[in-house]
Amino acid sequence: MSRWITLIIATLLASTLASTVSASRVEDFVLIDQNGRAHELYYHKNASAVVLVAQGNGCAAVDSTVEQLKALRTQYADKGVQFLMINSSADQDRAAIRAEAQAKGIDFAILDDSTQLIGEGLNLTTAGEVLVINPKSWDLAYRGDISKAGDALAAVIAGKAPAVAQAATKGCAVELSANDADHSQISYSKTIAPILLEKCAACHAPGGIGPWAMTDYNMVRGFAPMIREVVRTKRMPPWHADPTIGTWKHDKSLSIAQTRDLIHWIEAGAPRGEGEDVLATQPVQYVQWPLGEPDLVINVPAFEVPATGVVDYQFPEVANPLDHDVWVTAATVVPGERPVVHHVLMGSIEQDATQREGVFDNYIIGYAPGNESALMPTGTGVLVKKGGKFLIQMHYTTSGKAAVDNTQVGLYFSDEPPQNYLRNQVVLSPRIQIQPHDPAHVEQAYVEFYDDAQIHSLVAHSHYRGIASDFVLHYPDGSEETILSVPNYDFNWQQTYEFVEPKNVPAGSKLVHRTRYDNSANNPNNPDPGRTVPWGLQSWDEMLYGNVSFSWVNESSDNPIHDNGKADTAQFIGFMDKDMDGKLVWEELPERMQKGLVQYFKMVDQNGDGGLDLNEFMFLNKMRAQQQQQGAGAR
pLDDT tens per residue, range 388-437: 999 999 999 999 999 999 999 999 999 999 999 999 999 999 999 999 99
Residues 146, 72 share a domain: yes
Split at pLDDT 50, 70, 90, the class of 47 is very high
Q: What is the pLDDT of residue 10?
A: 44
If phi > 0 it is left, if psi is from -120 to 50 it is alpha, else beta; for residue 111 that is beta
390 lies in some domain: yes
End position of a domain, from candidates 582, 603, 622: 582
Residues 166, 190 share a domain: no
End position of a domain, from candidates 366, 391, 418: 418
628 lies in some domain: yes
The closest of 524, 201, 552, 215 to 379, measured between CA atoms, is 552
Strand residue runs (E) in 278-372: 296-299, 303-305, 317-319, 326-334, 341-349, 362-367
Q: What is the pLDDT of residue 180?
A: 65
Strands 433-434, 584-585: pairing kind:
unpaired
Q: What is the pLDDT of residue 1?
A: 41
Contact 519, 434 (CB under 8 A): yes
**Statement: residue 188 has pLDDT above 80:** yes
291 lies in some domain: no
Average pLDDT over residues 580-594: 94
Split at pLDDT 50, 70, 90, the class of 562 is confident
Residues 386, 368 share a domain: yes
Residues 456, 370 share a domain: no
356 lies in some domain: yes
**Statement: residue 14 has pLDDT above 50:** no
21 lies in some domain: no
Split at pLDDT 50, 70, 90, the class of 580 is very high
Q: What's the pLDDT tens digit per position in 121-141?
A: 999 999 999 999 999 999 999
Q: What is the pLDDT of residue 624?
A: 82
The closest of 546, 489, 515 to 242, measured between CA atoms, is 489
Residues 41, 115 share a domain: yes
Q: What is the pLDDT of residue 23?
A: 56
Residues 530, 449 share a domain: yes
Range of the domain at 192: 182-281
Q: What is the pLDDT of residue 81?
A: 98
Average pLDDT over residues 223-248: 97
Residues 435, 403 share a domain: no
Report the CATH number that the domain containing residue 300 is assigned in CATH.
2.60.120.230
Report the CATH number that the domain containing residue 39 is assigned in CATH.
3.40.30.10
Alpha carbon distance 187, 264 (integer Å): 11
Strands 317-319, 423-428: pairing kind:
unpaired
Alpha helix ranges (H) inside 552-600? 564-576, 591-597
Report percent pLDDT > 90 for the chain. Answer: 86
Residues 549, 433 share a domain: yes
Q: What's the pLDDT tens digit per position in 435-473?
A: 999 999 999 999 999 999 999 999 999 999 999 999 999
3 lies in some domain: no
DSSP 8-state assignment for residue 254? P
Q: What is the pLDDT of residue 12?
A: 46
Contact 545, 461 (CB under 8 A): yes
Residues 440, 401 share a domain: no
Residues 220, 84 share a domain: no
Alpha carbon distance 401, 156 (integer Å): 46
24 lies in some domain: no
**Domain count of the chain?**
5
9 lies in some domain: no
Q: What is the pLDDT of residue 3?
A: 45
Q: How high does pLDDT run on average in the chain?
A: 92
Split at pLDDT 50, 70, 90, the class of 634 is low
243 or 632, which is more confident? 243
Q: What is the pLDDT of residue 599?
A: 86
Q: What is the pLDDT of residue 578?
A: 95
Q: What is the CA radius of gyration of the chain?
A: 27
Average pLDDT over residues 75-79: 96
Angle, helices 564-576/614-634, rounded to nearest 10 degrees: 120
293 or 22, which is more confident? 293
**Statement: residue 635 has pLDDT above 70:** no
Report percent pLDDT > 70 for the chain. Answer: 94
End position of a domain, from candidates 281, 314, 340: 281
Residues 6+ apart with CB under 8 A from 360: 345, 347, 348, 349, 391
Q: What's the pLDDT tens digit per position in 335-373?
A: 999 999 999 999 998 876 555 555 788 999 999 887 899
Alpha carbon distance 264, 179 (integer Å): 11
Split at pLDDT 50, 70, 90, the class of 181 is confident
pTM summary value: 0.92
Residues 532, 504 share a domain: yes
Residues 354, 330 share a domain: yes
Average pLDDT over residues 292-302: 98
Count of residues making up the chain: 635
